[in-house]
Amino acid sequence: MLTRSKKLIRAKEYAKKAILSEIVAIRSSKELRKFLEHSQLNEQVASVVQVFAVELHATNATFPHLRTILSLLHGITDLVMNIPVRYAAHLSSALHFANLTSLSTTLPHSMIATLLHNHPRITTLVLGPCSTPRKCPLRAIQLPEASELSGPPGCLAGLVGNNPVREVTATYRGPRDAQYPLHLLFNFMPLNTSVNLTVLHVDFRPSDVDMLLRVAAAAPRLVSLKLTENIFLKPADHLKARLLWREPSKWVEAFNLLPCLQNLLLKTFHSLAYGADDEAETIRRWLSVVKPMGTHPHPALRHIVVWWSAEIEGGCLGVWDLVNGLWSRTYAATAEPGGGLDEAFV
């Protein structure tokens, strides 16, 4: 029979043989406990980690283990932490990682605010749902090195200002987030970023026919724009007769204000058109800009993706590219729900 001391010696020998990895992903309580055991017996297991991702839906007995692990990860640059909000109290908002530059988490935004104050070098921030989108505690945070922000529009409204943000993903993460009106963020005024915003992904309400004009006013130097229909709309909102892509004059006006736009992606649950020919006609109307001497091709647009009648990865998807000076559909697919069209919508 092995004595306790001999068991400990064997455990340490086993931990020394553990594979050291700069990237660690934890998806279960078992994996969490195993990583903690190895880290406590071999300090190199935790010290070499640069990217740590944890996604747990476990009992709260697991979270003290997570708190201990986080205290051992001194060298991480990227942290992904998606855990149930009700267990956030088991973690300390005073955590500090000297080299942290990327944070993606579903933690309460009040806790994230403290984390951001302690980590001014953050360049990439991805937020989960917010319980108070109109009064988010993140709205006054300064991120002097942030270049990429992703989260609910109400939370990003204050974060983009005076920060060097080049890429923004303003999408609703839950029904409460969707209560924040998008026009408060895109109010026909430039977003007050300290550099040109070039990449934007935004959820939209299909009946907001001025959405593209709002975007053009907010970020006139956009290179890539992705519009996805808000999935949290009430059924009545999906039945509005006026749809933004069926207002070609507003699209032409907006494209006049977006001279650098190269890539456009649109996803809607509505019918974009009634058939392939109508899709082609819709696309054709988007491709022109109006100048004093008449209508001319857009100076920069090269790539368009439209995914319409979209439902659970199904629907109709068309990819259009400018090839040798001519626009053509380079990819087309139709699929039933679950057909995996999301893989082509990039």
146 burial (CB, 10 Å; 0-12 / 13-18 / 19+) is buried
CA distance 243 to 237: 11
Instruction: Enter the DSSP assignment of 158.
Output: H
pLDDT digits (tens, 9 = 90+) for 218-231: 999 999 999 998 88
Highest mean pLDDT, choosing among 8-17, 235-244, 259-268: 259-268
Q: Number of C-alpha atoms within 13 angstroms, CB side, residue 13?
A: 6
What is the per-residue pLDDT for 276?
Answer: 52
C-alpha dist (Å) from residue 32 to 24, 39, 52, 225 = 10, 11, 11, 39
Q: Does residue 344 surpass a pLDDT of 60?
A: no
User: What is the tens place of the pLDDT at every residue in 169-216?
Assistant: 999 988 888 888 888 889 888 888 889 999 999 998 887 888 899 999
Kindly report, residue by residue over 124-137, the tens digit of the pLDDT: 999 999 888 888 99
**Mean pLDDT, the chain, as a whole number?**
83
Question: How far apart are the C-alpha atoms of 219 and 298, rounded to whole Å?
Answer: 17
